[in-house]
Amino acid sequence: MPEGLTPAEVSKEIAEHSEHNREHSPHEKRDRIVAIVEAILLSIVAITAAWSGYAAAKWSTESRLGLAEASSARVKSSEANLDAKDVKNFDSSTFEAWFAAYSIGNKEAMKLAEHRFRPDFHVAFDAWQATDPEHNPNAPRGPTYMPEYHEPGAAGAKALADQADEAFATGQSAGETADDFVRVTVYLASVLFLIGISTRFPLRGGRYVLVGLGALMLLLSFVQLVQLPGPPT
């Protein structure tokens, strides 16, 4: 039996090999294109995910600072409000001392009580006396009910409370923005997972589907990122 191949058999093998290459070359070309697309997507996702994570961290820090500022302003507002109440109680106590002296007709005690009035309270007291409370049944019940009386420290306490509300709203908004960036980062991590397993997927059709799904999720992530504010400075 002759060893080797005859010229006819060699020609047949070359023809079959060329036909086999022509049949598989389109698939190999598509595989190379898909591999390039996968590499590009992985690069884009890696950079975008890093930036999104950075933005999430910055907004999270901004949220903590805002909430801390709100807490500090709230404490200061409470302290200012307590101080205002103390001063108002002092005004009430000096007026009660004056009224007790007035009830028994002790003018010296009345003068002594008036001497203890704060200047701002004295303005309201004089305005109250001008309403003739002794004979006018419609007169306010005391100086603290007069328009001229301004509760000491109340404006400052309210300003601090407003500042606390504003800082809290800012911190809350920053926290929600950080959550939005974290959600986008999770989407991008999903894209990395899809592209990663697509390179190991044995079926070409399944690989193409995974790459297409990853590209779609990447596009959706970009749409969300464009709608979010940039990281705070």
Q: What is the pLDDT of residues 119-150, one digit of tens each?
A: 989 999 999 999 988 888 888 888 988 899 88
In a domain, 70, yes or no: yes
pLDDT exceeds cutoff 70 at 19: no
In a domain, 79, yes or no: yes
DSSP string, 66-97: HHHHHHHHHHHHHHHHHHHHHHHHHHHHHHHH
The reported pTM is 0.65
In a domain, 89, yes or no: yes
Domain containing 100: what range?
A: 45-227
Where does the pLDDT of residue 10 fall: very low under 50, low under 70, confident under 90, or very high at 90 and above? very low
Average pLDDT over residues 209-228: 88
How high is the pLDDT of residue 34? 76
pLDDT exceeds cutoff 60 at 1: no
Classify burial at 201, counting beta carbons within 10 Å of its beta carbon; exposed 0-12, middle 13-18, buried 19 or more: middle
How high is the pLDDT of residue 18? 45
In a domain, 154, yes or no: yes
- The more confident residue out of 7 and 34 is 34
In a domain, 12, yes or no: no
Model confidence pLDDT, tens digit, residues 88-102? 899 999 999 999 999
Helical H segments across 104-153, by residue range? 107-115, 119-129
pLDDT exceeds cutoff 80 at 26: no
How high is the pLDDT of residue 41? 84
Task: Yes or no: say if 125 and 143 are a contact pair by the CB < 8 Å rule.
Answer: yes
Q: How many CB atoms lie within 10 A of CB 40?
A: 12
In a domain, 17, yes or no: no
Q: Which two tokens stand for residue 76?
A: 């200061």
How high is the pLDDT of residue 229? 92
pLDDT exceeds cutoff 70 at 103: yes
- The more confident residue out of 193 and 14 is 193
Average pLDDT over residues 98-118: 90
- Residue owning tokens 């004979």: 135
How high is the pLDDT of residue 74? 92
Greatest alpha-carbon span in the chain: 149
- Residue owning tokens 């009386």: 149
Going by the DSSP 8-state scheme, the letter that residue 199 receives in this structure is: T
Average pLDDT over residues 72-87: 90
Sequence-separated contacts (24+) of 115-120 with Cβ below 8 Å = 117/91, 118/87, 118/90, 118/91, 118/152, 120/149, 120/150, 120/152
Model confidence pLDDT, tens digit, residues 158-208? 889 999 999 999 999 999 999 999 999 998 888 888 887 777 766 777 777
Model confidence pLDDT, tens digit, residues 55-78? 999 999 999 999 999 999 999 999
Question: How many domains does the chain contain in total?
Answer: 1
- How far apart (Å, rounded) are the C-alpha atoms in residues 214 and 220? 10
- How far apart (Å, rounded) are the C-alpha atoms in residues 22 and 6? 25
Task: Yes or no: say if 98 and 129 are a contact pair by the CB < 8 Å rule.
Answer: no
In a domain, 26, yes or no: no
Q: Is the dihedral of CA 129, 133, 138, 139 positive or negative?
A: positive
In a domain, 107, yes or no: yes
